[in-house]
Structure 1
């Protein structure tokens, strides 16, 4: 019997004594591709999360509860453990800048949106389970309605679909800002007077392709996974036809109980395809003053923001994170949190990091609000999952927003002392190369 059919049987027989608060039922299942499974479903929202370590993978359907206020995340902290045996897990994220207006193509995301799904498909290691979530109150009518809603959701589950090569992207490409505007902004940011008060601002670019036939997001993400190792892979589709996908190398943080892992990922150089030459380029990156400064500004800011939140915080030696086309300078941060620190506290303190915004944060955001001529929305936002015992967030970079009329790609570059407009513009192209190599293989 299929897992969803077994869950329906269990729901039908669920004793009245177990219809209390948050309830989670699970059944072992076998799914070849989580993305293929999501592609086949019609129940939304459809959300996907795959950890960088590849040992944790989640796909979700439907919405049982929802949080749209970042301050409300604090209520998830230090809750009594439910009878379900595990705390409810919310999936979602925050926009890059909560004070910036959102363009219409970001409206379904909002500044904050976290979903407790009706259905979860979970892989931890080699174990895969299908999970149905319910939330009961003390009213018999509500309990019956909740059981009916859960059964109806499970009845909509379809077998996984075949994943196909994503459709080749055609359409007019528009850059915002264009190259001349980019040159002017970088020139402004690297004047001595500006650097004296604002040592780093991360400028970004939106590359928009007008289209009437956007690729299927799950086909696209499946095609990107093999060519984007050492990355988080996620997809958030809160409304049909509007989906953010990302292949992000950057962790914002992972929390397991009171233990916290974060990182400073800043500083970039290309890869050559030759192992010896890549080693030379990595050594060049480690020694380069401009890239070392960019990374130092990030890890110093993170450590400063953890003061008062962490009882201990340690910084690793610099090392190289190698991706398919790029190499990044990375320093890991390992910390133990104070007892009463919540994920709401961590997100408020750490997001956005100087790796995607700049430093000082307040001045960098003020500059971007005044001078950046497109809506970042969830680009460079914080995306992930959160429960009382575990939370994990990645930074939404190397991402694409797919809508019915356009595909938008985003890339950014940290502007610090020594930055040159042409080199930083080329860095944006380098960061988009893998995405474009899948979307426009003939042009890569």
Structure 2
């Protein structure tokens, strides 16, 4: 089963058991996995959702022998990544890690965790699913694409660069966002005769902020799948050039990203929306893995990048509703 809430909405949705339609699907970063939730979208009240009572202790899948990458190991890897970036003249390469939350002595109320994320991040797409021994929760703001079936208008955004809300932008973040914006603009030009681009502005997400530029263009519906295939993975979760950076990520990261940095497709009567799956965690009976990452450039500081991933992990960590066993 799956539950989700659209950005700037107070309505919770799930799917009805109607196998004629597949309106919600989760795609892994490398496109090797896909989880579909069949059925029409159905509104569910907050009280009905809370009565479902999902606890991590009731999950069947457990995590064993997990070795978490510590700060020294991660920073050493980033030193190698920065050397690789300079050697290959890359503008950016996105590297991720997994943070372990051990449920020793407590379990997590998954219902309340989902609801706390909804409250903490009103501008985010928030989801929670359990299927085939898999359980994931996420809350994030990045839209890969939104297609309006009536007007054929397609919207997307360039979202990159991360700082605590109170800090000022530096050249590092500004330079990190530029190639993302250019990448999206060049792809849209292949599908639309006119592309509208907004000014770059601050996008606030809880205790952190990003640089954001919005795009709008009219496209043909039959081009939609090809457009999404070209946009994913964006430089915000991968790097440029895309194929080269994906191979580099496989070499530098010792873990599979699974659904982290993949995307979620949600189809309604009016729209088809695609959300990038960031700020997310994979839950097990005895633990959770929080997936976080950052855009590494030639100017990156490994220590600051570690702190950035710690900051990003708080999106999930501070909203975990713990219960003593």
Cα deviation, residue 325, structure 1: 0.6
Q: After TM superposition, where is structure 1 displaced by more than 6 Å over at least 4 residues in a row?
A: 163-168, 171-175
**What's the secondary structure of 1:355's corresponding residue?**
coil
**Counterparts of 1:219 and 1:309 in 2: how far apart (Å)?**
42
In structure 1, the residue matched to 2:136 is 244
d(CA) in 2 for partners of 1:49, 1:161: 14
Change in Cα spacing, 1:330 to 1:175, as seen in structure 2 (3 Å) is farther
Partner SS for 1:191: helix
Residue 186 of structure 1 corresponds to: 78
Matched with 1:115 is 37
Partners of 1:297 and 1:189 lie apart in 2 by 18
Higher relative contact order (CA 8 A, sep 6+): 2
Q: Is the 8 A contact 1:189 1:195 kept in 2?
A: no
Secondary structure of the corresponding residue to residue 252 of structure 1:
strand
> What is the Cα deviation at residue 256 of structure 1?
0.5
> Which residue in the other structure is 2:316 paired with?
435
CA contact (8 A) 1:175 1:206 kept: no
Task: Give the 3 Å change call, closer, same or farther, for CA 192–224 of structure 1 in structure 2.
Answer: closer
Larger Rg: 1
- Distance of aligned partners of 1:236 and 1:345 in 2 relative to their CA distance in 1, 3 Å threshold: farther
Match of 2:194 among 304, 312, 337: 312
5+ residue gaps in structure 2? Answer: 58-62
What CA deviation, in whole Å up to 9, does each residue of 1:59-106 have, x standing for no partner?
A: 1244615xxxxxxxxxxxxxxxxxxxxxx451012101125xxxxxxx
- TM-score normalised to structure 1 length: 0.64
In structure 2, C-alpha distance between the alignment counterparts of 1:61 and 1:209, rounded to whole Å? 32
1:8-157 to structure 2, matched below 5 A, reads 46-54=1-9, 57-62=12-17, 64-65=19-20, 88=21, 90-98=23-31, 111-117=33-39, 120-122=41-43
Query: Hey, what does 2:60 align to over in structure 1?
Result: none
Q: Distance in 2 between matches of 1:439 and 1:49?
A: 17
Task: Summarize the Cα distance change of 1:438–1:389 in structure 2 as closer, same or farther, 3 Å threshold.
Answer: closer
SS of the aligned residue for 2:318 comes to helix
| Deviates most, 183-192 or 395-404 | 183-192
Q: Secondary structure at the match of 1:408?
A: strand
Give 1:331 shift: 0.8
Aligned mates of 1:385, 1:416 — CA distance in 2:
33
Q: Deviations over 1:157-214 (max 9, x none)?
A: x95544889889xx99966433223222222232386354322111101012344765
Look up the match of 1:269.
163
Contact 1:198 1:363 in 2 (8 A): no
Q: TM-score, normalised by structure 2?
A: 0.86
Change (3 A) 1:430 1:54: same
Q: Is the 8 A contact 2:41 2:268 kept in 1?
A: no
Match of 1:421 in 2: 302
Alignment of 1:284-299 (within 5 A): 284-285=168-169, 288-299=170-181
In structure 2, the partner of 1:322 is 204
Q: Give the corresponding residue for 2:272.
A: 391
Match of 1:197 in 2: 89
User: What CA distance in whole angstroms lies between the structure 1 residues aligned with 2:84 and 2:136?
Assistant: 38
Contact kept in structure 2, 1:201 and 1:364, CA below 8 Å: yes
| Number of equivalences | 314
